Structure 1
Amino acid sequence: MDKNARREAIRDFKEKKTVAGVYAVRCAPSGDVWVAGAPNVEPQQTRHWFGLRTGGHLNRAMQSAWNAHGGEAAFSFEVLERLDDEDLTPLGRADLIKARERHWLAALGARKAVG
């Protein structure tokens, strides 16, 4: 890759819009649901699946369910809500993510996926 192409790729990456939201990780055999909010929901499935596949996920209950039920085939990832937060400050965005996460935790009777 030449210098100009590299610079263009870096610029495109920096300008890429992120989508804040709330997502769920579900284990079909056990019925367990874990919910979390994130300032960028797009890479979250990859993040969780990597931790689970390598056996080092921070959520021990999720890791146990993954191990007990055969891994990826038993799990699904779902974006529950995408947040329109363009007019918010970073603090306002964080507060909105937390509020919507609490809503979905209660609505689904879920546990926190992270934290």
Structure 2
Amino acid sequence: MSTANRKALVRAYKEAKPAFGVFALRCGADTWIGASPNLAAQENQIRFTLKMGKHPNKGLEAAIATHGAAAFAYEVLEEIDEPDLTPMGRTDLLKRRVAHWVEALSAKPLIGAV
């Protein structure tokens, strides 16, 4: 790979805006809905906090302890493409979309996910 190609790839990576949206966590028969300003990094963050026993949702931690990490599934439900939103507008939109998905899937909200 040439230096020019490498620099172009690094620049493109730094300029890329992370996708934000709503996700579901499924473990056994339970489903939790959350939102994230960076969907690509969210799954790793959740897996890490669960592994360390530091996740704020103790119900999710209990389900993982009961069913095991193999039963844990992360699924992106909705990726939002609204580049003109303010940070406050983005947070408000994510909260409304989480409420919609919680009702639609009869799920539980994942506290502290936005």
TM-score range, shorter chain: 0.7 to 0.9
Counterpart secondary structure, 1:42: helix
> In structure 1, how many angstroms separate the alpha carbons of the residues matched to 2:88 and 2:44?
26
Structure 1, gaps ≥5 residues long: none
Query: Which residue of structure 1 aligns with residue 63 of structure 2?
Result: 65
Query: Which residue of structure 1 aligns with residue 99 of structure 2?
Result: 102
Q: Which runs of 4+ in 1 moved over 6 A?
A: none
Q: CA deviation at 1:92?
A: 1.6
Counterpart secondary structure, 2:55: coil
Task: Compute the RMSD of aligned alpha carbons.
Answer: 1.8
User: TM-score, normalising length from structure 1?
Assistant: 0.82
Amino acid at match of 1:77: Y
Q: CA deviation at 1:39?
A: 1.4
Query: Which residue of structure 1 aligns with residue 16 of structure 2?
Result: 16
Fraction of identical pairs, as percent: 44
* Equivalent residue pairs, number: 106
Amino acid at match of 2:31: V
| 1:32-63 deviations in Å (ceiling 9; x for gaps) | 00101111111111011111112221110000
